[in-house]
Homo-oligomer: A and B are copies of this chain.
Amino acid sequence: LVMSKGTVVLAYSGGLDTSCILVWLKEQGYDVIAFLANIGQSEDFDAARKKAENLGAKKVFIDDLRAEFVTDFIWPAVQANAIYEDRYLLGTSIARPCIARRQVEIARREGAQFVSHGATGKGNDQIRFELTCYALYPEVKVISPWRIPEFYNSFKGRKDLMEYAEKHGIPVPVTPKAPWSMDANLMHISYESGILENPKVRAIRDSWVEMSFDHFFGVPVKVTNMTDGHSKDSALDIFSYLNEIGGKHGVGRIDIVENRFIGMKSRGIYETPGGTILLKAHLDIETFTMDKEVRRIKQGLGVRISELIYNGFWYSPEGEYLRHCIAKSQENVEGKVQLSVFKGQVYILGRESPKSLYNEELVSMDVQGDYEPSDASGFIKIIAVR
């Protein structure tokens, strides 16, 4: 009879890597609880549950986190217009704290002292994952096999994993997926390699939608198809619908080299259809309704939180602080944006808002309004004094 070393909640993807880790953790003497978060990836969750049970998981939790992923993680990113290094919409970065938050909830509830994950020892995900765990459950111990020499020295390549799987009765996928293919989620899909092809656009005509930002918080509350009048009004439905339209038109595909937190550069190919539409619509309504100087300050805070999010500090004092300040800036960000999506592009067609700071009369060419053009002479002379 062997004493258990304790219980570990493993972030389980259903794939080869975390299946091997599940078995390896058991070999090391742990009781393993498998936790699989549904954040919008395409997965056969029932099959994954059975597989985990067969591999000896003490318990299996498969939780649908999609709605909270949208409201608690995507929405704040939208408020911030969060972009890393001018291009990357942080689709993976914001998924990690969402998953890890639930994982430590389970660990606390089930009395597990350990959590584990399958992220590699060179990437950003390990950091995002673990910083969340330490922030929300400071006493937890993290088991990160890809950083443990006994593990990573045994599994130097894909082949070693396959052999281990075969030996331990772990079903091996016919077409092997790379470990990072687990990044697919509601927000985005990342591809492992290859040239980014032109989108295989299925659509032959453009889609016109109207997005309503009606609330205090600068996030969408409705999206309406302007052709058929149908609309969606829950956060998850709105985002899913934008994904559908964006996906159909090949919107938001990029091939970039990014700077990892751990001092390396790496290549990423990402597809973020709904997020891209939303970013453009939000930028538009925000500029339309927000004071320009407030926006300059807020823009700087947005750059900052984008770096934080990328680097794994979603749950951190400065992350909380920035989210508060950014949310505050959104108080007047409400209104409607009409846009057309077509062949990879998002075109803003118009916008309207009760909080508009846009004074049509003031900018008009033909009407003077209250504004006295001669005042501008003094203005220009004064700013030229220097």
CA distance A179 to B365 in the complex (A): 9
What mask results when residues 233 to 252 of chain A are scored 1 for a CB within 8 Å of chain B, else 0?
00000000000000000100
Q: Does A62 contact B (CB under 8 A)?
A: no
Q: Which residues of B contact A358 (CB under 8 A)?
A: 257, 265-267
Which B residues lie within 8 Å of A134 (CB)?
384
Return the contact of A375 from the options B255, B298, B377 (Cβ within 8 A): B377
Check: A172 CB closer than 8 A to any chain B CB.
no
Assembly stoichiometry (copies)? 4
Does B378 contact A198, Cβ atoms closer than 8 Å? no
CB contacts (< 8 Å) of A1 on chain B: these are: none
- Residues on B with C-beta less than 8 A from A179 are 365
Q: Complex formed: what's the CA distance from A377 to B147 in Å?
A: 7
Decide if B297 touches A301 in the complex (CB within 8 Å): yes
Query: A372-386 vs B: 1/0 string, CB under 8 Å?
Result: 111111111111111
- Least distance between A124 CB and chain B CB atoms (Å): 11
A144 → chain B, closest Cβ, in Å?
A: 7
Q: Is A328 an interface residue (CB 8 A)?
A: yes
Docked Cα-Cα span, A340 to B250, in Å, equals 15
Taking a contact as CB atoms under 8 Å apart, the answer to whether A303 and B299 are in contact is: yes
24 A-B contacts, Cβ less than 8 Å apart? A85-B287, A87-B283, A126-B380, A144-B377, A148-B374, A196-B349, A198-B345, A255-B349, A257-B284, A262-B376, A263-B383, A264-B363, A291-B318, A293-B316, A299-B303, A300-B300, A316-B386, A324-B328, A343-B343, A343-B344, A372-B378, A376-B382, A377-B378, A379-B382
User: What 4 pairs across the A-B complex have the smallest Cβ distances?
Assistant: A378-B378, A121-B373, A259-B292, A263-B385
